[in-house]
Structure 1
Amino acid sequence: MNIHDIAKISGYSSSTVSRVINNRNYVSDKARQDIQKVIKDFDYVPNDVARDLSKGKTHNIGVVLPHTKHPYYTQLVEGIMSAAFPAGYRIVMLPSKFDADVEMNYLNRLRRKAYDAIIFTSHGISLKELLKYQKYGSIVICHNPGELNIAAAYTHREESYIDAYKWIKSQNYQRISILLSRDYQISATAQKTIQAYRKTFGSEPDHRLLNTDVTTFDDGYNAAAQFHHNQYEPDIYFTNGDDIAAGVRQFYLDNDLKLPMLVGQENQLSGRILNIPTINHHFHEVGKLACELAINNEIKQLSVESEFILR
């Protein structure tokens, strides 16, 4: 049933029915009562999708994220939601697992007006492919796009990484383990982490002390166990999360081993409790900025400075 059916049954015009449904003025009491009776008798409910499309807005923003195991994603989402709710927008979570085909499906849904905008917290699809879909709605990424003209909100990490490495160097640590979420070849974050190491130490990190696919407390625990099993013990861990650093620490405690020095990231509660150095990337603020760009359909690049916190 639609408003034309209600109009036919009630004997009033479609415009009068529309005014009643939307609680507008300029409707007589009798007409309002007659129309509301038909609505009640037939249990009519307005179609929000059709109404939104008629207005050219869905007030839905899709947020593409590969997983939620790392605070990078959870903090971004918290920031996005803090900006979306006051503006009257709904957030639709779109899991991707870095699968380019899945991400392409989401872009085609943007093209079909399922969302007003899409925020990519990370992506497997190329930036050049994303650019092709900007004409269908706002697309925002959460890393530096370089010279490409696409909306972006991101944290400027390089200086905080260098500050952390300079401190590590000043303490004369030699066996520096670096824990990463993804491989250097495919991760911009991993690339910045290693580039900052090269700038600070003038050499490549020891590949025997690198470990990837580390995103959780358990991953940190297992990475420490692997190094111990290989009899190549780091004297400091530069981890990609405070919870991950806590996992490393727990392995050493469980096995009555001397604790190594730990450096975390994301300024999580675990890092504050353990009182370890960390890097605050302010991802909550990045998420807010990304959402504001999506809502306003602005093509800007906005960056937030990270900071190394020495405890």
Structure 2
Amino acid sequence: MANLKEVAKLAGVSPTTVSRVLNNHPHVNKDTRNKVHQIIEELNYIPNINAINLIKGKTNLIGIVIPFSNYPYFSQLIQGISEVATQKNKKVVLFQTSYDSKQELEALEMLKLKQLDSLIICSRNISIATIESYLQYGPISIFENIKNTTLHTTYIDHYHAFKHALQYLYKLGHRDIGCVINRRNSSSSIQRLSAYKDFCLEHHIPIKEELIFENYALLEDGKALYESLKKTKTIPSAIVISSDHTAAGLYLSLSETERKNFSIIGFENQEISTLLNITTVDIPLHTIGIQLFKQLSNNSITQTKFDTHLIKRHSVFKLKD
């Protein structure tokens, strides 16, 4: 396979001139440029992209760290990021990590090795301190509410959003309310659990661990949640679920009679919640994805909060006296 030096020798120019042609440098005359391109074509020379990127100092590649690609929550973030990336002539590289810290670290190492220009972290298992140590190699934005950080952050107030949903159910007479989260140790779940426990304490409602359900996120998890609910000593009259798809799976598992006597609130305002008329908390994930990308070009640290809104539909009922 031909290399850059061979192209330079046959074209009668220096390797530096060949590099300038490859990088569309303006200070190369037309005849020389045409001669170099002719030799490149004859030799079927394929430039070393890594070498070119090192010369340019950029790759036009943006890394996106996600745990799973089959969660609609993350696919909407990716859609927003990719949309604006395309407008800016950037390409995205997905790192699906399954919350494996080693794989998350690989993405950071690619930033360090200049194989990426910047990195967006949608959810993580690795420590914030570790992530911050890589900022010297390129900008990083993260979808999380973090205090006193040098990272760009875009976030929502999970505590307020969850508490607001619980208060809505309380006003409708509900007292035995279930709480459904995904990963118990994630920052969003920690905030949601805190909101749930504070809500119970404020209203003098006993905190029942059997009404706290974890590791539910997908549509099929709704069926498993239904089975778990049937086994509880105290059957709740309402439930707040941190995923619209799990809420939909639960809703579809209920009989017609059960649906009339059980209130469900989901999260994210996914299309499935609209189709099934499920009350939900709107999170503007697509817009958040756009903001995560835009933060990367900001020289000063930015922290952007997005508001959430409770969308009232037909899956919540006033408890009968």
Question: Shared topology, TM-score over 0.5?
Answer: yes
Whichever residue aligns with residue 258 of structure 1, its letter is: E
Equivalence for 1:309? 311
- Structure 2 residue aligned with 1:223, among 222, 225, 228? 225
Q: Output one character per residue of 1:62-87: Cα deviation in whole Å (capped at 9) or x when no partner.
A: 11111134332122111111221111
Aligned to 1:273: 275
What amino acid is aligned across from residue 299 of structure 1 in structure 2? I
- Tell me by how many angstroms 1:190 deviates: 1.5
Listed as ranges, the gaps of 5+ residues in structure 2 are: 314-321
Q: Is the 8 A contact 1:157 1:305 kept in 2?
A: no
Q: Is the 8 A contact 1:278 1:310 kept in 2?
A: yes
Matched, 1:112 2:113: yes
CA RMSD in angstroms comes to 2.3
Q: CA deviation at 1:12?
A: 3.5
The residue correspondences of 1:23-172 to structure 2 (distance < 5 A) are 27=29, 29=31, 31=32, 34-172=35-173
Aligned partner of residue 258 in structure 2, secondary structure: coil
Mapped partners of 1:17, 1:125: distance in 2: 43
- Contact (CA 8 Å) 1:142, 1:290: kept in 2 or not? yes
Unpaired stretches in structure 1, ≥5 consecutive residues? none
CA distance in 2, matches of 1:128, 1:15: 41
Look up the match of 2:181: 180
How far did 1:168 drift?
0.3
Asked whether the 8 Å contact 1:145–1:152 carries over to 2, the reply is: yes
- Alpha-carbon shift at residue 304 of structure 1 (Å): 0.9
CA contact (8 A) 1:267 1:280 kept: yes
Greater shift after overlay, 222-231 or 31-40? 31-40
> How far 1:192 moved relative to its partner?
1.6
Separation in structure 1 between the aligned mates of residue 79 and residue 34 of structure 2, nearest angstrom: 45
Specify the code of the residue in structure 1 equivalent to 2:85: A
Alignment-derived partner of residue 319 in structure 2:
none
Equivalent position of 2:258 in the other structure: 258
Deviation at 1:52, TM superposition (A): 1.7
Aligned to 2:190: 191
Q: Confirm or deny: 8 A CA contact 2:119 2:141 kept in the other structure.
A: yes
Post-superposition Cα deviations, 1:244-282, rounded to whole Å, max 9, x if no partner, equal 1110011113xx651221111111111112222110111
- Taking the aligned partners of 2:245 and 2:146, their CA distance within structure 1 comes to 29
Q: Which residue of 1 aligns with 2:237?
A: 235
1:85 is paired with a residue whose SS is helix
2:301 corresponds in structure 1 to: 299
Conservation of the 8 A alpha-carbon contact between 1:61 and 1:92 = yes
Q: Indicate how the Cα distance of structure 1 residues 132 and 141 shifts in structure 2: closer, same or farther if over 3 A, else same.
A: same
Instruction: Report the Cα distance in structure 2 between the residues aligned to 1:192 and 1:212, rounded to whole angstroms.
Output: 14
**Counterpart AA for 1:74:** S
Q: Distance in 1 between matches of 2:3 and 2:92?
A: 28
Shift of 1:162: 2.4
Distance 1:271 1:104 in 2: 35
- 2-structure distance, mates of 1:17, 1:107: 32
- Aligned residue pair count: 306
Sort the Cα spacing of 1:39 and 1:13 in 2 relative to 1 into closer, same or farther, 3 A: same
Answer yes or no: is 1:211 the counterpart of 2:210.
Answer: no
Tell me: CA distance 1:50–1:281, structure 2 relative to 1, closer, same or farther (3 Å).
same
Structure 1 distance, partners of 2:51, 2:17, is 19
* Residue of structure 1 in register with 2:199 after alignment: 200
Percent identity, aligned pairs only, is: 27
Alpha-carbon distance change, 8 to 275 in structure 1, aligned in 2, over 3 angstroms: same
Structure 2 residue identity aligned to 1:223: L
1:127 to partner: Cα distance: 0.9
